[in-house]
Structure 1
Amino acid sequence: MTSIVFGNLPVPGQSGDRVVSKAVTAAISALFRQAEKLEAIVRAEPVAKLFQGSVDGFDFIGKGLLMYSGLRVESMEFYVQSVAIDFGAIFKGQVKLKQATQANMRIELTEEDLNASFNTPFLVEKMQQLTFNGESLTFETVELKVEDDGSLQLDSRVRVGYAAEREKISLKTRLEVENRRRIQFTDVSYGDESTNLDLCQALVEHLNNMLDLDKFALDGMQLRVDQLRLRNQKLTLYGMANITNFPRRTATQAAA
């Protein structure tokens, strides 16, 4: 087994272990703008199996990950079993899968992460694709709070078209997963502070159409969620990742 932790730790093991682990770690790190901690573990016994491209498993654990879209994730874990790789591509600094594989995953976002994500240009732009009564919308800061009862509180102010006054949005919702891929606002209740109920309902409908995990997944990766939990000021997702190609940094990310 070979383990690499970002930093200046030495890499034990034979050369095959070092080459594969370095390539995997470098390929993963390129997907993020920043990472507080990133650990890649390649498992192969005996090590000679690597030269045939056979890997018993691959584990990835990351903390404090900042994506190029501006989205931040508190922790992300993937556990892959029995994967076949193109060993020759390693020497070109690439990681290529010979066949599709699956990974168990766990993704955790803090309340702070959720707030930061909903206020990034990446998500604000998607939210502003909604029009109301033919008018464009401009969102001010979106505030999210994970409540003790496992619900989510959302508050914001929205300007409709060129109106001088902002509409107040205030709602409390449960989160559920539909068809393992769509995060849905359910059992929604609207606060007395909301100034336009029709606008609130239109926003919820828009968010339910927008929060499709396939729209946020890395290229070559499909995320499917089996369980979603809101607790202790955190959102945690448990499920599977279907991986057809090892994710790569896009041209847009490279220019960021």
Structure 2
Amino acid sequence: MRDDNRLEEQFLSQEAEKQISNQLDEVEQIEIDVKTDLLKIFQGQADGVSVAGQGLVIKEDIRVQEIKLQTDSIAINPFSALFGQIELNEAVNAIARIVLTEVDMNRTLASDFVSSQMQNFDLDVDGEIVSFEPQKIQIFLPGEGKIECRGRVLLKEMENTRPLAYTAVFRPRTHSQPAMLESFNCTEGDGISIEVVTALMQKAKELMNIPSFKWEEMAFKIKDIKVEKGSLILLVETQVKQIPSSITELSL
């Protein structure tokens, strides 16, 4: 009986691999394992899905070096499942381990997609609005748990606009320690006032303490971050209500 079940699992897993591979610009390796049987398929159930992939590329410039994801039991559309397409009938919880390289992170930051998503942000500095318009950002991972960020923004304050370049070194928040800023230096421009720095640090604290992030039908919560030389490792909890349509749209 188990061998018969395994044939059904293999069919669904292989078809799911084809569907995902077709939606990616590039994929070095992907393995999907769907745990279910024919009866559960007709009942719209699966015991879980595991995904392991390497070298996944969406829209040419957005690349993930490695991802491992495991879901709990899921409720699926039985008719789409028979054709290897997993459509969720209920939200599913999953945990993922994602590895990003320094090269891939900077490739993504320079992509047209990320550039189109970058937005200006405003700070209230003693009743005056100071605006930052991101121009360029690069990430460096030197090791020892540190992230170095080099960027350039247009700073708008008191009806004046001027360029500002900076270098910041920080340690991200982990399960055992809070985020720590080690240094912040202005490398271009006349610098910024203490009041602006204070407001900027408060804004950064608010962003780092956001409990979860949302993208379409998915919610993400970063449980842990590990920074190694040249790579960033994320442990992420997710709740997926449906596979985002943007995955397909990005690959067109």
**Do these two structures clear the TM 0.5 threshold for a shared fold by scoring above it?**
yes
What are the equivalent positions in structure 2 for 1:93-172 lying under 5 Å apart?
A: 94-127=85-118, 129-130=120-121, 137=133, 139-140=135-136, 142-158=137-153, 167-172=164-169
Once the two structures are TM-superposed, the CA of residue 83 in structure 1 deviates from its matched residue by 1.9
Q: Does 1:234 align with 2:231?
A: yes
In 1, distance between residues paired with 2:112 and 2:203?
Answer: 17
The 8 Å contact of residues 55 and 63 in structure 2, kept in 1 or not, is answered as: yes
In 1, distance between residues paired with 2:246 and 2:22?
Answer: 6
Segments of 5+ residues of structure 2 without an aligned counterpart are: 124-128
The 8 Å contact of residues 169 and 196 in structure 1, kept in 2 or not, is answered as: no
In 2, distance between residues paired with 1:159 and 1:99?
Answer: 44
- Figure out how many residues of one structure are paired with residues of the other and give that number: 234
In 2, distance between residues paired with 1:126 and 1:209?
Answer: 20
The 8 Å contact of residues 80 and 102 in structure 1, kept in 2 or not, is answered as: yes
The 8 Å contact of residues 23 and 248 in structure 2, kept in 1 or not, is answered as: no
Q: Aligned to 1:89, what secondary structure does the other structure show?
A: helix
What are the equivalent positions in structure 2 for 1:40-51 lying under 5 Å apart?
A: 40-44=32-36, 48-51=39-42
CA RMSD of aligned residues (A): 3.8
Q: Aligned to 1:50, what secondary structure does the other structure show?
A: helix
The 8 Å contact of residues 107 and 236 in structure 1, kept in 2 or not, is answered as: yes
Once the two structures are TM-superposed, the CA of residue 120 in structure 1 deviates from its matched residue by 1.7
Once the two structures are TM-superposed, the CA of residue 113 in structure 1 deviates from its matched residue by 1.7
In 1, distance between residues paired with 2:118 and 2:190?
Answer: 17
Q: Which amino acid aligns with 1:154?
A: C
Change (3 A) 1:186 1:198: farther
Q: Which residue of 1 aligns with 2:13?
A: 21
Output the TM-score relative to the length of structure 1.
0.71
Q: Aligned to 2:148, what secondary structure does the other structure show?
A: strand
What are the equivalent positions in structure 2 for 1:1-256 lying under 5 Å apart?
A: 13-14=6-7, 16-44=8-36, 48-68=39-59, 70-91=61-82, 94-127=85-118, 129-130=120-121, 137=133, 139-140=135-136, 142-158=137-153, 167-176=164-173, 186-191=180-185, 193=187, 195-198=189-192, 201=197, 214-215=213-214, 217=215, 219-249=216-246, 252-253=249-250, 256=252
Once the two structures are TM-superposed, the CA of residue 250 in structure 1 deviates from its matched residue by 5.8
Once the two structures are TM-superposed, the CA of residue 23 in structure 1 deviates from its matched residue by 3.8
In 1, distance between residues paired with 2:181 and 2:102?
Answer: 20
Q: Which residue of 2 aligns with 1:6?
A: none
The 8 Å contact of residues 27 and 95 in structure 1, kept in 2 or not, is answered as: no
The 8 Å contact of residues 74 and 110 in structure 1, kept in 2 or not, is answered as: yes
Segments of 5+ residues of structure 1 without an aligned counterpart are: 3-11, 179-183
1:90-123 Cα distance to aligned partner (Å, 9 max, x none) = 3466422232221121111111122112222233
The 8 Å contact of residues 127 and 207 in structure 1, kept in 2 or not, is answered as: no
Q: Aligned to 1:193, what secondary structure does the other structure show?
A: strand
Once the two structures are TM-superposed, the CA of residue 49 in structure 1 deviates from its matched residue by 3.4
